[in-house]
Amino acid sequence: MAESVALGVIGVGRIGRLHVNNITAHIPEARVVAVADVIEEAARQVAQTYHIPHAYGDPRELMEREDIDAVVICSSTNTHAELIEMAARAGKHAFCEKPLDLDVERVRRVLRVVEETGIKLQVGFQRRFDPSFRRARELIASGAIGEPHLVRITSRDPAPPPIEYIKVSGGIFLDMTIHDFDMSRFLLGDEPEEIFATGGVFVDPAIGEAGDIDTALITLRFRSGALVSIDNSRKAVYGYDQRVEVFGSGGMIAVGNKMPDQVIHLDGSGTHGPKPVYFFMERYTEAYIEEMRAFVRSILEGTPPPVSGRDGLVPVIMGHAAWQSYREHRPVPIHWE
């Protein structure tokens, strides 16, 4: 068994730089050999900061390096599928941020290439690696709350992304709710069979003008019969709101928000406490480290990645079904096979 994994990181914006930092600071079994970004100067700056030997403006140059075992794809969504296929044909394992692509059939073609070449592909659903959500999943799987009946997932951002991003994001269901779709499957260990979605534009009219919505309420029915409700908003003035509750025949599990501290202050005007941490990078600090550690471990140990290509496919199918339901004002069956 190899002792370490040589990685190339493609896309060194906010999330790419985060992964470079985590690998360098927290994962001794891996090292970043090269970085690439369409803005070559950005790649060079990251390489200089983290003492990475090679920086490129073209990811193909990175892919051609024989000393790279795997790539971490953090570039724009429209490049994901092509880069995964490029990595697969170069014999390199791939970690890819969500979504694999906005088109279901394009994702299916990518997964066929992954299967044909035998590389490992892990999808970046970092919430699965959050200690609290992982513990909730373990308790549910152990039967601690009996048969799950109801799941409530709240996911609200502190502020919407730029309009230019929204225009190419695939919309709220494929950009934001996709994490909640994955979380529902993860918590229940089951597959959805029907979805109903509704929503509106309450935060910024420009989001509606871009063809999207900023507030949504989704109901899912799973094969087991369990019911899931998801509520999303692009703007929670009090911070990043990430909560889960699972109710079953034998009890209930709740996961609350992550706070910067646990101090509660009471005075004559009322009870006061801190707001939740501001956004996803603060909320999921540990999860981002653990998901990358899991990817490296799967390569070193020859085991399947914990978040598979299929785990990347099904939430995209769910996202399109949600849009169909929203537009047609009716429940829609989810055909995920």
Show the 3-state SS of 124-187: ECHHHHCHHHHHHHHHHHHCCCCCEEEEEEEEECCCCCCHHHHHHCCCHHHHCHHHHHHHHHHH
Facing residues of 185 across strands? Answer: none
Tokens of 160: 């919407």
Q: Kindly report the CATH class assigned to 128-283+315-333.
A: alpha beta
Q: Which residue has the tokens 């009090």?
A: 238
Asked if the bond preceding 160 is cis, omega within 30° of 0, the reply is: no
Look at strands 241-248 and 227-233 and give their pairing. unpaired
What is the reported pTM?
Answer: 0.95
5-119 folds as Rossmann fold (3.40.50)
In this model, does residue 1 exceed pLDDT 80? Answer: no
Residue type at 280 in one-letter notation: F
Mean pLDDT for all residues in the chain: 96
Element (H, E) at 100: none
* pLDDT at residue 274 tops 60: yes
Q: pLDDT by residue (tens digit) across 133-150?
A: 999 999 999 999 999 999
Closest CA to 27 of 62, 93, 72: 72
Residues 223 and 336: their CA atoms lie apart, in Å, by 12
Of 47, 67, 66, the C-alpha closest to 55 is 47
From the list 130, 231, 113, 240, the residue with the least C-alpha distance to 186 is 130
Chain segment 164-176, per-residue pLDDT in tens: 999 999 999 999 9
Radius of gyration of the chain (CA): 20
Residue extents of the structural domains in the chain: 5-119, 128-283+315-333
Give the model's pLDDT for residue 246: 98
